[in-house]
Amino acid sequence: MPFENEERQRLTVTVDPAVVRAGNEAVAAGRSESLSSWVNLAMAERAAKERRLLAMAEAIALYEHEFGAISEAEIAAQERGDRHVEIVRV
């Protein structure tokens, strides 16, 4: 993870009870060392997802700047292709 070498910080957050139960269940089942580490991993995964989405948006913007806006027809064609690939993998 990109944040591993940084000093950890304590914070106070409000979390839905179902999320806390899920974290505590993960700890009880041995899937996480502690609730803090479970929450830390979730936050790190969210940060990574947001970085990927930002990079994707930037790539699309660069593509559209060079080649023009992606049309609805092109999006539909890609979706059909994606479904075909998914069917083949199953």
Domain ranges for the chain = 17-89
Cβ atoms of residues 35 and 27 within 8 Å: yes
What is the reported pLDDT for 8? 85
- Give the position of tokens 């990574």: 48
Q: How confident is the model at residue 83 (pLDDT cuts 50, 70, 90)?
A: confident
Q: Please calculate the CA angle 79-84-90 and round it to the nearest 5 degrees.
A: 125
Question: pLDDT per residue over 14-68, tens digit each?
Answer: 999 999 999 999 999 999 999 999 999 999 999 999 999 999 999 999 999 999 9
Q: Which long-range contacts (CB under 8 A, 24 or more apart) does 40-48 make?
A: 40/8, 44/1, 44/3, 47/3, 48/2
R_g (Cα) of the chain, nearest Å: 20
